[in-house]
Amino acid sequence: MFISYFFLQIKKLGQLGLMGINVSEEYGGPALDSLALSIAVEEIARGCGGTGTIVSVHNTLYANVLDQLGTKEQKDKFLVGFTDGTHVGCFGISEAGAGSDVGAMLTTAKLDGDEWVLNGTKAWVTSGYEAKAAVVFATVDKSKKHKGITAFLVSIPSPGFSLGKKEDKMGIRASSTCNLILEDVRVPREHVLGEHPSNLRAIQIPSVVTDGARIGISSQALGIAQAALDCAVDYASKRIAFGGPIIKLQSVQQRLADMALRLEAARLLTWRAAVIRDTGERSTKYSSMAKLASSEAATFVAHNCVQILGGMGYVTDMPAERHYRDARITEIYAGVTDVQKLVIAENVAKEYGISTSPVDEDPSLLQYCLLVKKWRLFPVEAPHCSCSVMVRNMEVWNTDHIQIMFGLCNCCTRACDITAWNTAAHSTALKTVFHNGCNPCPVRTTKGPVVSSKQYLVVPQTLPTHMSVAGTH
């Protein structure tokens, strides 16, 4: 009965264009903007928080990802039929031991001929039981951590693919949540999503996936909060105490004022994040602000709704307790509240030219240079950052020393990879060392020079008299 009802509702949502709101018309979507998606998800969640989850996740973490990163062949197979309500997709990135710490991911992908073989378990997957396809993240090189991760398109069912039990959740119970279990699941090479993982570079998860998902969850939280406010006002206007409706009591009015204020402020933050995202700029700070404000507003408004209803807010006769249960998840998935604060602080500091990175160099490599090889490190000036670490032309006369460049990009505050190579026997002019942390940088590069630069010319402790390094005399 649940499955039939589920697909009946999804089909109706698809017919209204709500299962591919941002998707191009070529693949069945109305090609609307992020603000339209936000408003739609809010209104759906206002009626049912669980349905809001389904619509938000399907749009932001499946359909939009395919539309923005997929090839034509991938879209023809995995997007057609997923925007009209015929099918629903799911998204698997979290694991039991890898939630906020994506780099700890254990699901692996190994290339075997023309196929990738996936093994691992994905947790907390929305609509896993109903999905006909999944975007699954796996690591192709654990030593690379998050940089060794890429995404694969997995058809459901597939040999070796199975589902865990449905989670018995506190809230959003209209949506199913389960584990995806992959045991030697074979995925064709052409089903790698985004940048091919042969170079061990992850797709642009932050801009395409995370930022959009947080706007979606923010919108869901707004809908839940609005429903809770509606419930509280309706009850307060009808409940008679002390000779009149309790909405005339100042204590109740103060609660309603605080509820409405937080809700409206969170809504404006969410809409701002959506608009900024549509301009093509990186919306990370604003998406996290919206997620933080909206989720906390949802919990606050739902809590006060229960308080205004009193005992009636604690029983299932009224929707207040459901709003309270539904609201709680919004502070957890798509990045917990604590993570949102870290993201916001990092981006605020970056705007002031300050790095919040706890380590802006690779201590193990530098210790190796200093302690094991007894090499000296000479700082190298970087004149500017265009999401590549630029160094001035230098004449290098040593035949066997190593160049090590390490910097922190001012645009996105991500540390560059350590880049080491042996120089040629003859003089070498260094020109551009690309910023391996995010190339190309998703942020505009007009904010100034490298914030914190640890760029070194590493040479043996004692140079032969006939050798020298330009600029280090």
Q: Give the tens place of pLDDT for each residue, 334-343.
A: 999 999 999 9
Query: Under CATH, which number does the domain 205-346 receive?
Result: 1.20.140.10
Q: Which of 264, 268, 236, 266 is nearest to 252 (CA)?
A: 236
Peptide bond into 440 cis (omega under 30): yes
* Whole-Å CA distances, 151 to 191, 245, 258: 9, 56, 42
Q: Give 375-379 contacts, CB < 8 A, sequence gap 24+.
A: 375/401, 375/458, 375/459, 375/460, 375/461, 376/458, 376/459, 376/460, 376/461, 377/456, 377/457, 377/458, 378/456, 378/457, 378/458, 378/459, 378/469, 378/471, 378/472, 379/453, 379/455, 379/456
CB atoms within 10 A of CB 151: 27
Q: Which of 137, 59, 28, 130 is nearest to 92 (CA)?
A: 137
Domain ranges of the chain: 89-203, 205-346, 363-460
* Partners of 254 in the β-ladder: none
Q: Which of 125, 129, 112 is nearest to 187 (CA)?
A: 112
The pLDDT profile of the chain, 473 residues, written as one tens digit per residue, is 445 778 999 999 999 999 999 999 999 999 999 999 999 999 999 999 999 999 999 999 999 999 999 999 999 999 999 999 999 999 999 999 988 788 789 999 999 999 999 999 999 999 999 999 999 999 998 887 777 888 999 999 999 999 999 999 999 999 999 999 999 999 999 999 875 544 334 444 545 688 999 999 999 999 999 999 999 999 999 999 999 999 999 999 999 999 999 999 999 999 999 999 999 888 999 999 999 999 999 999 999 999 999 999 999 999 999 999 999 999 999 999 999 999 999 999 989 888 876 544 444 433 433 343 333 333 333 333 333 333 222 222 233 333 333 333 334 333 333 333 333 322 232 223 333 333 333 333 333 333 333 333 333 434 334 333 333 33
Stated pTM of the model: 0.76
> At which residue do the structure tokens 């959506």 appear?
274
CATH topology of domain 89-203: Butyryl-CoA Dehydrogenase, subunit A; domain 2 (2.40.110)
DSSP annotation string for 288-311: HHHHHHHHHHHHHHHHHHHHHHGG
* Two tokens, residue 301: 């408004």
Same topology for domains 89-203 and 205-346, yes or no? no
Helical H runs in 207-313? Answer: 211-238, 250-278, 284-309
Sequence-distant (≥ 6) Cβ neighbours of residue 81 within 8 angstroms: 87
Note the pLDDT tens digit of each residue in 268-294. Answer: 999 999 999 999 888 999 999 999 999
Question: Degrees (nearest 5) of the Cα angle 432, 433, 438?
Answer: 120
* Two tokens, residue 317: 């006769």
> At which residue do the structure tokens 């530098």 appear?
366
Distance CA 302, CA 311 (A): 14
Question: Degrees (nearest 5) of the Cα angle 56, 61, 62?
Answer: 105
Sequence-distant (≥ 6) Cβ neighbours of residue 283 within 8 angstroms: 211, 215, 273, 274, 276, 277
